[in-house]
Structure 1
Amino acid sequence: MAEQAEKSAPQTTGSGSGKSMLGQLELDMRLMGMVGAFILIALAFNLFTDGRFVTPRNIFNLTVQTVSVAIMATGMVFVIVTRHIDLSVGAVLAIASAMGAMMQARWLPQLVGLDYGNPMIAPMAIVTCLAVGTLIGAFNGWLIGYQGIPAFIVTLGGLLIWRYVGWYVTDGQTIAPLDKSYLVLGGAEGTLGVTLSWGVGILASLAVIYALYNARKSRKSHGFPTKPLWAEFTVGGVIIAAILGYIATLNAYDIPKGKLRRLFEARGEVLPDGYTEAYGLPISVIVLIIVAVAMTMLAKKTRLGKYIFATGGNPDAAELSGINTKLLTVKIFALMGFLCGLSAVIASARLASHANDIGTLDELRVIAAAVIGGTALSGGIGTIHGAILGALIMQSLQSGMAMVGVDAPLQNIVVGSVLVFAVWIDIQYRKRLGIKV
């Protein structure tokens, strides 16, 4: 019996005998398919735009444009995982943006006497956006969890209500200018520069090495098989190369001479001949990275995350096991609202104003990003990194078609077709793996 047990024990040497080289890498093939799709999209649009798509300038703009949808998509993962839907995210972004803009341009200067440029304006506006989004999200969750109204109906009503509440708050006007400190979160007005960007890239690379080492150590301590060392080095090397390559690309995008000249003049200086300066990593991307890490940790390392996925997998069993699914629903939608408020800050700062059409159709882009990223509409399955990659694919399609000259109606037709096709591919993939769909 002892010999049989020894033979049946898991091997921890990581030799990977009996597996192909690709099998020993243990890659997530669905994720690899998404990465491959993104690369193909980028190469195709680069060909049709005579090399203008894959340039430092366009990569920078593409990244900045993706951030607000990607942030909301991370929250939509939790919503869909628990078998709900949120159609109101674009409208909640709009009302949060309206309230934040009014705080900066109207209420604080007129009611409190804080002049434009006061250091308290930007923090108070940000807190306003976050608070408005969180409160609306919690209210949606209460209606869904405790009052039993379907999420589709509650959030469909919110889609119609909150955008036009924002319209009345601003009297239908575009609100500008916004505080300069606030605009730092939007993209071009707030970047780290070359040196700090390389510092972030190096720190991110070290974090990848630590994460791989820690995961390998954990698998060994629990007696699970591990990858061969060459496979670990290959995976880590590819990820680090992607991080440093992205940083190098952003650092290759120089600030236009005219803008540099204005910056120097604002400081009472003269732009030296031949002087150049690159944008580097946008602060909005740093915010997205923090959100992604926090949401991933929440999903994998906390009790709340385990409850979310357990409830999505089997709501009845989760309730019978003692999970307060009603309160859980409130928490999930409050978190979704908070992320909508944060996206409102990013989006309005990027545009340097609040306009009435801000966030229009974002609800569809956010849902599409989560679904394309592998979140199952049947519940229980979804990843944060997949949703962010889905948002990047969606934005790449839209930006690429705009650069090629495709008109807006056809762009929406293509995006809708891609969404349906992605869901079909996901269903076929899960069927092959024997996962119930």
Structure 2
Amino acid sequence: MTDMVNTTTTSGPRTAEAGLITRFFRATEIDTRLLGMVGALLIIWIGFHFMTGGLFLTPRNLWNLSVQTTDIAIMTTGMVLVIVTRNIDLSVGSMLGLCAMIMGVMQAKVLPELIGFDNSATWFITLIVGIAAGALIGCFQGLIIAFLNVPSFIVTLGGLLVWRGATWLVTSGQTVAPMDQTFRIMGGGAEGSIGATWSWIVGIIACLFVIGGILNARRQRKRFGFPQRPVWAEYFLVILSCVLILGAIWIANSYYWPINIARRYAEANNIPWPETGLDIPYGIAVPVLITIVVGIVMTFISTRLRFGRYVFAIGGNPEAAELAGIKTRWVTVRIFTLMGILCAIAGAISTARLNAATNAQGTLDELYTIAAAVIGGTSLAGGTGTIAGAMLGALVMQSLQSGMVLAHVDTPLQSIVVGAVLVVAVWLDTVYRARAK
């Protein structure tokens, strides 16, 4: 009897605590899986901060980390849709390299002969040509997969080899440089950042959008008679979102231009050089803004448009989607076309950041892109995945890579860690799906 009383007494607070936590997550509707990824990311950051002697969690490294993540983050938004439909794209790294080389040749060799050097339209024409090339490559692969019934694994594995070889053939293996000055803005750096004032403006606008989105969702739920979140949960989500946004802006504004760049800027603009130096904040990098816009657009496509619903319907049950009248083959073609466009955008950012187009661009990016999508909760079995989760997965992958470089981990060991993380992510996805049944 005593044992029974003790057991009941000790389990009571635990049950109440578990019930409180459960009610909190139900009220706020926070995705626990996404929250787990955030927790894992914080553990990685704190761990590397101690391993690197305090170098990781600094404004400089976090700013560079955000810029370095952009390529994979952009491509992984498209990889989510590819994997959701039970396909795979192993050619994204090679497509990035080919599109980057085409854009490099356009602005360094072709356009100067047609419209002259330093033409204001060079960057725009280059970007359009690169995006068109990516769309054509993706569409070509999608047509083979959809209408010739060749498995996507084989088609894109062939594409990995073909497009990488085509990259070399464009210039016979030569590196193309330099890039157009306006085009380089997409790569970040001192000229490719918007500064402190505009960063705060962007942050405030983002907070207003968050508040407006939550209020609109509440009105829509009331309109259609759906259950609403408690008012305190709405306030909590607004405060949490705004703190995270403004905190990221503060970190970006805490990283200043190097003294030599600041001095040249002061001389060019006739600004007196103070004895203490001139602190000019970088602010948000342009490639980070581009990535955020791509993420918002891809989220809208996948959750608000009919095309997005078709994608998830095909992933959930291809036969049922076909019987429901969905043109599954053309949806597949559009998915791979979209994937090619995203690879071209990522290639433009990569080329702008390097100020050159090289044959090595995009090498192994297919591994990191797929790993980011899987880590972000996209199931290889199809039918499940989120754009936000995949982009967070890209940040996790880049954090691992950047942290290991700062910690002076050997390159072979870095590959071992990345491979192990991918396997563990797939295993966790299998466990999660098994428990969800």
Q: Common fold, TM-score beyond 0.5?
A: yes
Structure-to-structure mapping, 1:351-366, within 5 angstroms? 351-366=354-369
2:95 aligned residue = 92
2:116 aligned residue = 114
| Counterpart residue type for residue 228 of structure 1 | P
Deviation at 1:401, TM superposition (A): 0.4
Asked if 2 retains the 8 angstrom alpha-carbon contact of 1:182 and 1:349, the reply is yes
Asked if 2 retains the 8 angstrom alpha-carbon contact of 1:261 and 1:270, the reply is no
Alignment partner of 1:238 out of 226, 237, 240 = 240
Structure 2 distance, partners of 1:265, 1:324, is 61
Structure-to-structure mapping, 1:340-359, within 5 angstroms? 340-359=343-362
Residues paired across the two proteins, number: 417
Structure 2 distance, partners of 1:266, 1:275, is 14
2:170 aligned residue = 169
Structure 2 distance, partners of 1:272, 1:263, is 13
Structure-to-structure mapping, 1:373-388, within 5 angstroms? 373-388=376-391
- In structure 1, runs of 5+ residues without a counterpart are 1-15
Structure 2-normalised TM-score? 0.93
Alignment partner of 1:103 out of 101, 106, 119 = 106
Structure-to-structure mapping, 1:58-137, within 5 angstroms? 58-110=61-113, 112-115=114-117, 117-137=118-138
1:159 aligned residue = 160
Structure-to-structure mapping, 1:24-423, within 5 angstroms? 24-110=27-113, 112-115=114-117, 117-188=118-189, 189-267=191-269, 271-273=273-275, 274-423=277-426
Deviation at 1:269, TM superposition (A): 5.9
Structure 1 distance, partners of 2:20, 2:362, is 52
Deviation at 1:430, TM superposition (A): 2.1
Deviation at 1:20, TM superposition (A): 3.3
Asked if 2 retains the 8 angstrom alpha-carbon contact of 1:138 and 1:334, the reply is yes
Asked if 2 retains the 8 angstrom alpha-carbon contact of 1:144 and 1:154, the reply is yes
Asked if 1 retains the 8 angstrom alpha-carbon contact of 2:95 and 2:164, the reply is yes
Asked if 1 retains the 8 angstrom alpha-carbon contact of 2:187 and 2:352, the reply is yes
| Counterpart residue type for residue 332 of structure 2 | T
Asked if 2 retains the 8 angstrom alpha-carbon contact of 1:192 and 1:281, the reply is yes
Structure 1 distance, partners of 2:363, 2:115, is 33
| Counterpart residue type for residue 425 of structure 2 | A
Stretch moving more, 221-230 or 194-203: 221-230
Asked if 2 retains the 8 angstrom alpha-carbon contact of 1:308 and 1:328, the reply is yes
Structure 1 distance, partners of 2:102, 2:22, is 57
Structure 2 distance, partners of 1:36, 1:18, is 16
Q: What does the per-residue CA deviation read over 1:262-304, in whole Å, with 9 as the maximum and x for residues that have no partner?
A: 2334456664443221000011111111111111111111111
| Counterpart residue type for residue 368 of structure 1 | A
Asked if 1 retains the 8 angstrom alpha-carbon contact of 2:368 and 2:397, the reply is yes
Deviation at 1:25, TM superposition (A): 2.6
Deviation at 1:147, TM superposition (A): 1.1
Structure 2 distance, partners of 1:179, 1:407, is 35
Distance 1:316 1:193, change over 3 A: same
Structure 2 distance, partners of 1:396, 1:243, is 19
Asked if 2 retains the 8 angstrom alpha-carbon contact of 1:69 and 1:343, the reply is yes
| Counterpart residue type for residue 95 of structure 1 | L
Percent of aligned pairs sharing the same letter: 50
3-state SS, counterpart of residue 243 of structure 2: helix
Stretch moving more, 181-190 or 23-32: 23-32
Deviation at 1:228, TM superposition (A): 1.4
Structure 1 distance, partners of 2:296, 2:108, is 33
3-state SS, counterpart of residue 302 of structure 2: helix
| Counterpart residue type for residue 151 of structure 1 | S
- In structure 2, runs of 5+ residues without a counterpart are 1-18
Structure 2 distance, partners of 1:414, 1:67, is 21
| Counterpart residue type for residue 159 of structure 1 | L
Deviation at 1:215, TM superposition (A): 1.5
Structure 1 distance, partners of 2:406, 2:286, is 25
Asked if 1 retains the 8 angstrom alpha-carbon contact of 2:263 and 2:278, the reply is no
| Counterpart residue type for residue 136 of structure 2 | L
The structure richer in helix per residue is: 2
Structure 2 distance, partners of 1:170, 1:263, is 35
3-state SS, counterpart of residue 363 of structure 2: coil
Structure 1-normalised TM-score? 0.93
3-state SS, counterpart of residue 182 of structure 2: helix
